[in-house]
Homo-oligomer: A and B are copies of this chain.
Amino acid sequence: MERSQPYSSLSHTARPAPVNKLPIAQARIPETLRRLAYFQAWPDESLERLASGTRILHLPKHSAVARKNERLEALNVVVSGLIRVFIPLPNNMERVVSLVGPGDSLGEACLILKQACPYHAVAGRDSHLLAIDARVFRRELSLDIALTRQTLERVSQRFMETLRDTEICAQRSSVLRVASYLLLHRPTSEDLGFTFRLPARKQDVAAKLGLTQETFSRVLGFLDKQGLIQVSAGLIRIEDADKLARITSMKDCKEAGQ
C-alpha cells in the first residue's frame, strides 16, 4: 500500500508519469534547489555539493516519508504537495504535529541530533520532495556559519510554531481551540476581516487541534450559525476578527445565540 521508493536517480529512465504531472528530472536538481526560498542563503558551491547528495522523490498520496522511531537519512524539502506529520495514538487516531507544504522542510532537528524520528510523516497528496542526504547536509553545515545560523533560525521557528500549537491545544473548550486557530492566521491586527484556506482535509486540521473531525465540524457549524465565520468547503471567511476574538474570553458560549 505504501510505496516510499523514489525514482531511479537516472533521469533518462523512461518512467511513465501521469500525463498532467511534470516529473522533475534529476538533472534539474541544482536549478530546483536554487529556486527554493529555503536555499536562498546558501552559497553556490554549497548548492552544487548539496545537489550531488540530493534525490528527487515523487511520492504518491499516502506514501511514507518518515517512520516513528526510525532514523531519518535525509533532510526533506517539499517542492509540491503536502506532507502530514503526526504522532499515532491508540484507537488508530492521529495527532497531527504539522502540515508541511511547498517550500517547507522536515527533519532538521532529528538530523542534527542524530536521533530517531519522533513522528510519522506521509504524503497527504501526490508530492514532490527533495531528499538531501544527511551526511552531505551535515558536512555543509559544518563548513559555513551562515548555513548553521539559518538552520538555527529554522529550527527556532518550528519550535515557536509548536509552542503556539501547544497553546491552542491547551484550551479546554473546542470552540476556543478553533477560534484561536482561526485567529492565528489573521494577517495583521488591523485586519478585521480575512479569508483563509484550510491547509488540508478538515480531518487533519481537526487532528492538529486535538479534536475529532466530528467535533471540528460541529464547532465550525456553530461559529457559522453565530455569524462569526462563513464556511464554504475548505475556505473560511472571518468578517470580524475582534468579534471572534471576544468569544475567546467568554466563559460559556454554548447557546448564547439561541
Q: Which residues of A contact B (CB under 8 A)?
A: 87, 89-91, 93, 95, 97, 108-110, 112-113, 115, 118-119, 141-142, 145, 148-149, 151-153, 155-160, 162-167, 169-172, 176, 210, 248-249, 251
Contacts and interface: CB of A to CB of B under 8 A. Distances in A.
A166 B87 contact: yes
Contacts of A152: 112, 148, 151-152, 155
Nearest to A156: B109
Contacts of A141: 149
A32 to B, nearest CB: 25
A210 B170 contact: yes
Count of this chain's copies in the oligomeric assembly = 2
A244 to B, nearest CB: 15
Contact of A153 (B112, B149, B156, B163): B112
A89 B166 contact: no
Most buried by B among A108, A148, A151: A148
23 contacts: A87-B163, A87-B170, A89-B170, A90-B249, A93-B172, A95-B167, A95-B170, A108-B156, A109-B155, A109-B160, A113-B160, A115-B160, A118-B160, A118-B167, A142-B145, A142-B149, A145-B145, A151-B152, A152-B152, A152-B155, A155-B155, A166-B166, A166-B169
A209 to B, nearest CB: 11
Contacts of A169: 166, 169-170, 210
Given A145-B148, A166-B169, 6 more contacts: A87-B166, A89-B171, A109-B156, A118-B167, A142-B145, A148-B149
